[in-house]
Structure 1
Amino acid sequence: MGAERVVVVTGASSGIGAVVAEQAAGRGDRVAVVGRDAGRTRSVAERVGGEAFVADFARLDEVRGLADALRQRYGTVDVLLANAGGLVSKRGTTVDGHDLGFQVNHLAPYLLSRLMLPALRAAADVGRDARVVATASAANRWGRIRFDDLEGRRRPWLGGWLPYCSAKLAVVLTMKELARRESAVQAFSVHPGAVVTSFGSDSVLIRVGTALTGGHWGTTPEAGAAPLDALVSDGPVPAPSGTYFDGLKAGGRTARQAEDPEVARELWERSAELVGLPSR
Structure 2
Amino acid sequence: MTKTILITGSTDGIGKLTALKLAKAGHQVYLHGRNADKLNSVIAEVKAVAKGAAVDDIDGFVADFSDLNAVRKMAAEVSEKLPKLDVLINNAGIYTTASATTKDGLDIRFVVNYLAPYELTNALLPLLKKSSEARIINLSSAAQAPISYKAFAGQERLADKDAYAQSKLALTMWSMDLAATVAAYDINVIAVNPGSLLNTKMVDEAYGQYWSSADKGANILTELAISDEFANDTGKYFDNDIKDGAHGDARGEFGQPHADALNKEAIAELKHQTQTVLQRLFL
TM-score w.r.t. structure 2 length?
Answer: 0.84
Distance 1:261 1:186 in 2: 20
Distance 1:177 1:269 in 2: 13
Question: Is the Cα–Cα contact under 8 Å of residues 107 and 151 in structure 2 kept in the other structure?
Answer: no
Partner of 2:211: 218
Distance 1:54 1:166 in 2: 26
Partner of 1:174: 174
Stretches of structure 2 that go unaligned for 5 or more consecutive residues are 48-57, 241-250
Change (3 A) 1:47 1:53: same
Worse-matched range after superposition: 244-253 or 101-110: 244-253
Is 1:263 the equivalent of 2:261? no
Partner of 2:237: 244
Is 1:230 the equivalent of 2:230? no
User: Once the 2 structures are TM-superposed, how far is the Cα of residue 121 of structure 1 from its aligned partner?
Assistant: 0.7
TM-score w.r.t. structure 1 length?
Answer: 0.84
Identity %: 30
Equivalent AA in structure 2 for residue 33 of structure 1: L
User: Once the 2 structures are TM-superposed, how far is the Cα of residue 131 of structure 1 from its aligned partner?
Assistant: 1.3
Distance 2:226 2:267 in 1: 27
Stretches of structure 1 that go unaligned for 5 or more consecutive residues are 211-216
Give 3-state SS (helix, strand or coil) of 1:189's partner: strand
Partner of 1:195: 198
Give 3-state SS (helix, strand or coil) of 1:177's partner: helix
User: Once the 2 structures are TM-superposed, how far is the Cα of residue 174 of structure 1 from its aligned partner?
Assistant: 0.9
Question: Is the Cα–Cα contact under 8 Å of residues 84 and 104 in structure 1 kept in the other structure?
Answer: yes
Change (3 A) 1:188 1:103: same
Distance 1:155 1:39 in 2: 33
Partner of 2:5: 7
Equivalent AA in structure 1 for residue 202 of structure 2: F
Give 3-state SS (helix, strand or coil) of 1:80's partner: strand
Equivalent AA in structure 1 for residue 177 of structure 2: E
Change (3 A) 1:38 1:257: same
Give 3-state SS (helix, strand or coil) of 2:93's partner: coil
Partner of 1:214: none
Distance 1:153 1:39 in 2: 35
Question: Is the Cα–Cα contact under 8 Å of residues 175 and 235 in structure 2 kept in the other structure?
Answer: yes
Question: Is the Cα–Cα contact under 8 Å of residues 34 and 54 in structure 1 kept in the other structure?
Answer: yes
Distance 2:151 2:104 in 1: 17
Partner of 1:46: 44
User: Once the 2 structures are TM-superposed, how far is the Cα of residue 177 of structure 1 from its aligned partner?
Assistant: 0.5
